Chains A and B, each alone.
Chain A
């Protein structure tokens, strides 16, 4: 009977019910967008921001006193130290290997062009390296063993992945041993163009390479000659060596645990250390890189990492506020429409009470009505939110967002909560109506 009553009573108020449902749908879509975007984009925005540079630099341990000014390295130590190129795939075997999205090794040395020293840098442009794949096990002081499974068996990386914003006039290197890229500032100074031959003196020997393209990077590379790593190793007489690796890693903003682990992670209690190790903050990733490459020292390029964390945090906060606001507004909207309904139906409610309905039987009708609007609005809102998240992804963040079903129960629950909270006061008001008064009014 309750449902029959509800169905019939709703039939006469389609417009208002539609409006209430729509209001709930708006709030629900905001919730759905918030959830989908924060779940999916946190990582993707990280990737997007990574376009502004690597956030970790890995260098040889003995190289501590090195200073870099204007792209030129001045080593205080007499003998420069190097990492082995063959060790680099180990970066993709650490606990948080999945979060290492790209890296590029560098080997630099000075050459002479037109009697002036110029920095020659070798790197990977676009390299595919094989990965061991399978399951990696990590044993902790707590006795726990954590397994990390990796399905990746190859990993494509290089400078194109680490610095995708590089702009090229001409083309990328096709012949690794005979071609070079020239930074735009250097090219201007030397007055060279793609296709020209670039003569240089390396260790007293005359060499020349064909210029494949001119690069604009917005950084120190604009004054450098960039070649394939292997070519640099041959020219500089350092086969298999690397003096620096830039790493792009997805990291989580620091929180209390990250801060506790900052100074001396191994001083943390074992359970906490395990938790720290297994959280993708910047520090555990650095820690794990040094574990994988004992001869290396990993440093965070803090500014980028922190700006990134702050940005993601701020974005999430903004979305949370907007969503909260949408929910509050909808709550009031539901309350307002419901109150109107109660006022309109007051004689009917009075009659029901005169017929013996108690408060809960009256309130139930409004609660049920609100629940229906909540569910319908929630479903519509979830669908609209999924669609909107995609749109926001492509239009605002330039990354595809894939809405997930995990967000559906939360969206529905919050839509329901908004509808019910909005209906609470009007339902109570209806339940309290005095039958004598309301019936008299219509006499």
Chain B
């Protein structure tokens, strides 16, 4: 098997307190895989995503992203790596309020290399927002904002897409639109790591990683039946 896109070995993250947010985590994620991260509130899901997004460094352990050992990198190198490899999607969208949809996408291009309006337009077309280019975030619905956020995350062709509860703030209709986009991205071969509380959303993934108190409980293939409990402990799939 070729080397995984993400590899975590014995990764721990301790916040001052001390709060052990992640406890000796071992996870591997292959290229093109869609992984749902689930678990109760406070179990360390966002912490895990921050580490993968190169926004933070683990207290101990080894994280490799696309073959690069992240742990020893300095701030500057982390920033570069984040720019190149990671696309982030947030529950709260986090769009710059005074910039139009198009400009929000171009901003990510600018920080990466160079703003390219045509390319940014195309990215918004991909998520069905071709007629919302010049709207400000406040003039867009939640679903539309999240689609801008997805276009922004994709604009620099990242290696992995990290999404922290991307549908958490959306109504059913919008949730479906956004999930359709994720499914399309998945079939196109994007690696997706998505935190979710919603087991229905989780079932769309190739694999569910269940955290509890910062520890990996199970890593399993979800049952595709939305009416049964989606997470069934006892079928460990931890790669070894």
Contacts and interface: CB of A to CB of B under 8 A. Distances in A.
Nearest to B50: A436
Given A1-B115, A436-B56, A358 B99 contact: no
Contacts of B94: 347, 351, 354, 439, 442
Nearest to B136: A8
B148 to A, nearest CB: 13
A359 B79 CA distance: 9
A420 to B, nearest CB: 23
Given A4-B103, A356-B83, A358-B76, A435 B55 contact: yes
B91 A354 contact: no
B106 A439 contact: no
A356 B92 contact: no
Nearest to A8: B98
B182 interface: no
Given A355-B83, A439-B94, 16 more contacts: A4-B106, A8-B103, A11-B98, A347-B94, A351-B96, A353-B79, A354-B55, A354-B82, A355-B111, A355-B152, A356-B83, A356-B111, A358-B76, A436-B50, A442-B92, A443-B91
B98 A356 contact: no
Contacts of B56: 436
Contacts of A357: 79, 111
Interface in B58-114: 75-76, 79-80, 82-83, 88, 90-92, 94, 96-99, 103, 106-112
A354 B110 CA distance: 13
A355 B95 CA distance: 11
A348 interface: yes
Contacts of A354: 53, 55, 82, 88, 94
A12 B98 contact: yes
Contacts of A266: none
Contacts of B75: 359
Interface residues on A, range: 20 to 34
Interface residues of B, number: 31
10 contacts: A1-B106, A1-B109, A8-B98, A12-B98, A348-B97, A355-B152, A356-B83, A436-B55, A439-B94, A443-B92
Interface of B: 46, 50, 53, 55-56, 75-76, 79-80, 82-83, 88, 90-92, 94, 96-99, 103, 106-112, 115, 152, 156
The B contact surface, by secondary structure, is helix
A10 to B, nearest CB: 9
A5 interface: yes
B99 A5 contact: yes
Interface in A416-442: 435-436, 439-440, 442
Given A8-B103, A358-B79, A2 B55 contact: no
Contacts of B112: 356
Contacts of A355: 83, 88, 107-108, 111, 152
Contacts of B152: 355
Contacts of B80: 356, 358
Contacts of A439: 90, 94
A361 interface: yes
Contacts of B110: 1-2, 5
A286 B147 CA distance: 86
A172 B21 CA distance: 101
